[in-house]
Structures are given as C-alpha cells and as structure tokens.
C-alpha cells in the first residue's frame, strides 16, 4: 500500500520597508527555520524581488525542503495590493508601483504564490493561530510607524474590493487635522500610531525641557513611543498628559469600529501595544466611562497579539491552509 503524505508546509514572507523576513510554516502555525534579507534603499523594485527569489531558493536548498512538499509561498506586503491579479499597485514604504510580484516569484521559484496586504496577513495569522483563534468576528490594529488594520467577519478575512479595503488607519479623526503619510489630514493614524506619539513627545520636550522626558530618552538612547510611558511611570506630569491624550485618541478610534462592526474582540499589536496591560487597562477604562458603543452587551474584548512579529509571515503562509 502506498501512503501519500499530505503537504503541510508553506513559506510565509513578511515584507517590510527595511527588511524581509520569512520562514517555513506548518499547517498548525508553527514557525520553522527562518530567513531574512535587507531591503536596500534605492534598489529598484525588480532587484528587490529578484534578490528575494534567490534568498527563497537558497533557503529551500539549504534546509533540504522538497518543493513537491511545499504548498506555496505567501507574501505579506505593505501598501495597496490587487490580490485578484497579484500586483502591488502602490507601496509608499517600498516605493513600488504596478509590480507583478506574484508572477515574478512564481516564475523564479516554481511554486504557487499568493499575496496579501501585510496588516491583513498579521490579522489572519492571529485569527487562525493566535489571540483571535477563539473569535469569529474581530478587528486587529498594528500600532507602529502607521496603523495597519484587518477585519475578520464570520471567520473569514474581509479585504474589500480587489483586496484594497480594511485601511483602518485612514479614517478621519479630525477634519483638517494633523498631516498623515497618506496625503490626507486628520487620519486616525496621525493621532494614534507610534509615529504620532513620538511627534507629540518631541513637541512636549521642546515646550518642557524640565520634564523627565529628556532623561528617559537619553536612557533609552532615542525618542520612541516608550518615552512618554516611562516618564509617566516616574511620576512626570508631561508624560502623563501624553499618555492620557494617546489613550483618548486610540480609544475613540476603537469605539468607532465597535459601533460599525461590533466585533467580539480587538487585537492590538505593534510597538505601542508592547505596553500590554499598562495601556489596555486605560483603554478599557476609557471605553467603559464613555459607555456608548462599548458598555452593555455584547462587550468587546480588548487584547494584545500572541504571535508578535511572527503574525505576518504566519498569516501569509496560512493563505495556503484554508
């Protein structure tokens, strides 16, 4: 009797603005051997993709993965992705335009390829194997350089027409407000991303050089999203004001999604979400206090990611585990 082994591996790749990370992923969501490569500023989009193809082929050969046992390669990519034809329409972070990456990688590796927006990939990974696996309806937000978003409805990833929906960072919080990287003004991203908190921290440091913000920044070696939180922990009033304002903007944005989708849960990931319960308890308290859109039933769980920085590559690979 011949026993046919089921293919249980896929390659998940998370493409970022400065580096690309990938791994072989099992159908149970386990990350195996990892690989990475830098993204060199100034390299053409074609060169980056050709370098990625070489890295993947070398990786498969080095770890003796038989291509016959690989379901395919999932690519999580920042920007506007046309999943119907496998093309990166536009990626601001990467300076890519109209790039037929799916076709290129398929030809270069001889494996099936599927592409997905990077935030959607992270959401899908958390929904299948991480913090969201017990929920059928959830929202995920990545609080990093920008705000990425993803939506799961009835257990399925919602991507919108041609995969270009779920841009949750680009709803307007304030008309004619702070400039957003997308070109519009007043986006949620411009108020609740790590970049927004860093901007506000720098402004506060200039206005109040006597605060503990500068001391914390020197200790950390840079000004990042942690500075305001660390200063607040030290009893600094300026840090407290920054954190309170951040919690307000984040919570108001979340309550908008509660009212639109009424998900079972919201999963937060990214740099700011690393504050964990120190942040989440404040957000829950704010939402409870405002009540409308949160209090009563059904309540929305506000939780953090379980997969961390692996969620993107796991979610991209999971496109082949449906």
Q: What is the pLDDT of residues 79-113, one digit of tens each?
A: 889 998 999 999 887 999 999 999 999 999 999 99
Q: Which domains does the chain have, with CATH numbers?
A: 9-124+311-320 (3.30.420.40), 132-305 (3.30.420.40)
Q: What is the pLDDT of residue 7?
A: 65
Query: Residue 87 is encoded by which pair of tokens?
Result: 């093309």
Q: What is the pLDDT of residue 4?
A: 38
Q: What does the mean pLDDT of the chain come to? A: 92
Query: Residue 146 is encoded by which pair of tokens?
Result: 């920008």
Q: What is the pLDDT of residue 145?
A: 86
| pLDDT tens digits, 250-299 | 999 999 999 899 999 999 998 899 999 999 999 999 998 887 555 666 78
**In this structure, are residues 74 and 122 in contact, taking their beta carbons and an 8 Å threshold?**
no
Radius of gyration of the chain (CA): 21
CA 177 – CA 3 distance, rounded (Å): 63
Percentage of the residues of the chain whose pLDDT score is greater than 70:
96
Q: What is the pLDDT of residue 17?
A: 84
Q: What is the pLDDT of residue 92?
A: 80
Q: What is the pLDDT of residue 1?
A: 33
| pLDDT tens digits, 263-273 | 999 999 988 99
Query: Residue 118 is encoded by which pair of tokens?
Result: 């990077």
* pLDDT above 60 (res 6): no
29 conformational bin, left if phi > 0, alpha if psi -120 to 50, beta if neither: left
Phi, psi angles (nearest 5°) of residue 237: -70, -40
Residues 314, 94, 103, 68, CA torsion sign: negative
CA 182 – CA 159 distance, rounded (Å): 19
Query: Residue 299 is encoded by which pair of tokens?
Result: 């309540």
pLDDT band at 306 (very low <50, low <70, confident <90, very high): very high
* pLDDT above 50 (res 3): no
What average pLDDT does this structure show over 199-225? 96
Reported pTM = 0.89
Query: Residue 52 is encoded by which pair of tokens?
Result: 């990625």
What average pLDDT does this structure show over 310-316? 96
Q: What is the pLDDT of residue 164?
A: 82
Residues with Cβ within 8 Å of 59's Cβ and at least 6 positions away in sequence, in order, are: 22, 33, 35, 65
Q: What is the pLDDT of residue 296?
A: 64
Neighbours of 108 (CB within 10 A): 16
* pLDDT above 50 (res 126): yes
Query: Residue 198 is encoded by which pair of tokens?
Result: 């860093």
pLDDT band at 2 (very low <50, low <70, confident <90, very high): very low
């Amino acid at each position: 009797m011949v026993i046919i082994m089921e293919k249980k591996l896929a390659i998940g790749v998370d493409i970022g603005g400065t580096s690309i990370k990938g791994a072989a992923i099992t159908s149970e969501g386990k990350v195996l051997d990892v690989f990475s490569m830098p993204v060199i500023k100034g390299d053409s989009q074609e060169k980056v993709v050709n370098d990625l193809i070489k890295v993947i082929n070398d990786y498969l050969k080095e770890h003796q993965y038989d291509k016959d046992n690989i379901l395919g390669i999932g690519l999580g990519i920042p920007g506007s992705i046309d999943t119907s034809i496998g093309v990166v329409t536009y990626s601001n972070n990467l300076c890519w335009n109209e790039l037929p990456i799916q076709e290129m990688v398929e030809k270069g590796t001889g494996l099936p390829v599927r592409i997905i927006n990077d935030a959607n990939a992270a959401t899908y990974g958390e929904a299948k194997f991480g913090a969201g696996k017990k929920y059928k309806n959830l929202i995920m937000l990545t609080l990093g350089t920008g705000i990425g978003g993803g939506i799961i409805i009835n257990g399925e990833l919602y991507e919108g027409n041609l995969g270009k929906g779920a841009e949750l960072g680009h709803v307007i919080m304030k008309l004619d407000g702070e400039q957003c990287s997308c070109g519009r003004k007043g986006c949620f991203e411009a108020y609740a991303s790590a970049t927004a908190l860093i901007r506000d921290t720098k402004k506060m440091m200039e206005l109040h050089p006597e605060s503990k913000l500068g001391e914390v920044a020197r200790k950390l070696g840079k000004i990042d999203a942690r500075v305001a939180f660390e200063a607040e922990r030290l009893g600094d009033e300026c840090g407290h004001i920054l954190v309170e304002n951040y919690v307000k903007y984040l919570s108001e944005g979340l309550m908008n999604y509660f009212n639109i989708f009424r998900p079972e849960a919201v999963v937060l990931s990214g740099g700011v979400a690393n504050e964990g319960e120190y942040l989440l308890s404040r957000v829950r308290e704010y939402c409870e206090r405002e009540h409308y859109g949160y209090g009563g039933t059904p309540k929305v769980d506000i939780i953090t990611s379980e997969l961390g920085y692996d969620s993107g590559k796991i979610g991209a690979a999971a496109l082949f585990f449906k």
